[in-house]
Structure 1
Amino acid sequence: MRTVLFDMFGVVAMDQSPSVRETMVDHSGHASSDFWSAYWAPRQDYDRGDLDGPAYWRAVGERLGSPFAPEQVERLIALDLESWSRVDEDSVALVRSLSDAGVPLGLLSNIPTELAARFEERHRRVLDLFPVLGLSCRIGHAKPEADAFHWCLERLGTSPEEVLFVDDNTANVAAARELGLHGHVFTSVPELRRVLKEGGLTAG
């Protein structure tokens, strides 16, 4: 292995804020289980860029059987962005150490257009650590689709067996392994450091 391809959320950035998740459910006026089932159902299309924010929330409302009013949609978009907007500074430090050591890096993230713009505004220092940025809304492919990985491999200029893919989602890691990449299910920075060391990749 000589290259590392990172996932964003749950690895470099944090998962959704629990407190903001609760606020989203309260604002929706629906039971939590119903809301999250409807939230995730069209998410792949949103991440891929097939839907914009208003269209995505219309789809969520339709699944719930009660469309959201325009002011609700505006508020839900804002809350959704806020819920995903935190980075993990320990992970960022690890990525920076790999970058400083000259390890080729890429990022492959399922991320909708509005959230990509938020990260470019708030966390450009993080995105700039990755010479290859595979943002699903920009490349038209989302994990675990094979084309998302192929897009990154082509721009990294490397073969699958030379890449370690790091993601907290087991389905995405399994998809990467099927394509010949090495895969690591992320659980913690110390564990990832151990895997990198075993693979001969230096991280200070």
Structure 2
Amino acid sequence: MSTDRRIVLFDLFGVIARHQRPGALAELAARCDVPTDTFAEAYWACRPPYDAGQRSASEYWTDVLRRLSRTADTEADTDADAGVIEELRLADIDSWSRVDGRMVAYVRSLRNLVEVALLSNIPSDHADAFRAAQPWLGDLDHVAFSGKINAAKPDPAAFHHCVTAMRAAAGDFLFIDDREENVHAARAIGMHGHVFTGLDELAATVEGWLLADRRAG
């Protein structure tokens, strides 16, 4: 089902924003004095509930440190771990802060043709920092961060949130993501989907989608 509206719904990281800065996990691992592979396993294993707003930043990093066998036994240790957690949290946010300027310009230009929205898997505190650093997000028709809506892709609830919040139908959306599983999940609820590989291919896909819609009308 669709209406006469057209909404391009973008993923953030890997599409508009860069993936985590290379070497960031090694730097975080060094701060914890553990091998990078060991740190990365704990970092990603604990991530899903943090992304989905089910764990706070402090709880997430406590979970990571616990997996790394860094537990606080005394009040002094607890204070030290609190300092470590804040250092890790801020460094982590910084490692996800880069954007692709060409993609930002393209997204903004699309608003002359269609409605434009964003759906990103990002923890709540990261979302606050990203929004503060990227004021162009305020120009979009809707912005949904997983840590704020308590649902992360590919959970259908994340996509349904956008449909409901924008008072639209699933068929009104073209969802853009660099991960196939997320695009498949969007298609499963009735959205159109495109796996992002680059700006030129994306622009052609969006143009073709809009042209097909005009022909159908």
Normalised by the size of structure 2, how large is the TM-score? 0.86
Distance 2:57 2:89 in 1: 6
The residue that corresponds to 2:132 in the other structure is 121
Question: Which residue of 133, 144, 150 maps to 1:140?
Answer: 150
The residue that corresponds to 1:195 in the other structure is 205
Question: Which residue of 178, 185, 195 maps to 1:175?
Answer: 185
Question: Which residue of 16, 21, 35 maps to 1:17?
Answer: 21
Q: Which amino acid aligns with 1:56?
A: Y
Distance 2:84 2:12 in 1: 28
State the 1:155 CA deviation. Answer: 1.9
Distance 2:91 2:151 in 1: 25
The residue that corresponds to 1:159 in the other structure is 169
Which one is further off, 107-116 or 67-76? 67-76
Percentage of identical aligned residues = 39
The residue that corresponds to 1:6 in the other structure is 10
> What SS does structure 1 have at the residue aligned with 2:107?
helix
Superposed CA offset, 1:112-140 (max 9, x none)? 12111111221122x12321111112111
> What SS does structure 1 have at the residue aligned with 2:117?
strand
Q: Which amino acid aligns with 2:103?
A: S
- RMSD of Structure 2 on Structure 1 (CA): 1.6
Would you say 1:80 and 2:92 are equivalent positions? yes
Q: Which amino acid aligns with 2:184?
A: A
Aligned residues: 199
Superposed CA offset, 1:54-78 (max 9, x none)? 1101111122233482222111101
Residues 121, 145 of structure 2: 8 Å contact kept? yes
Normalised by the size of structure 1, how large is the TM-score? 0.91
The residue that corresponds to 1:45 in the other structure is 49
Question: Which residue of 101, 115, 123 maps to 1:104?
Answer: 115
Q: Which amino acid aligns with 2:102?
A: D
The residue that corresponds to 1:66 in the other structure is 70
State the 1:159 CA deviation. Answer: 1.7
Distance 1:67 1:94 in 2: 46
Q: Which amino acid aligns with 1:65?
A: S
Which one is further off, 144-153 or 134-143? 134-143
Distance 1:42 1:173 in 2: 23
Superposed CA offset, 1:134-170 (max 9, x none)? 1112111111111110010112222222211111122
Distance 2:188 2:68 in 1: 35
Residues 20, 82 of structure 1: 8 Å contact kept? no
State the 1:25 CA deviation. Answer: 2.1
Residues 12, 120 of structure 2: 8 Å contact kept? yes
The residue that corresponds to 2:34 in the other structure is 30
Q: Which amino acid aligns with 1:57?
A: W
State the 1:190 CA deviation. Answer: 1.0
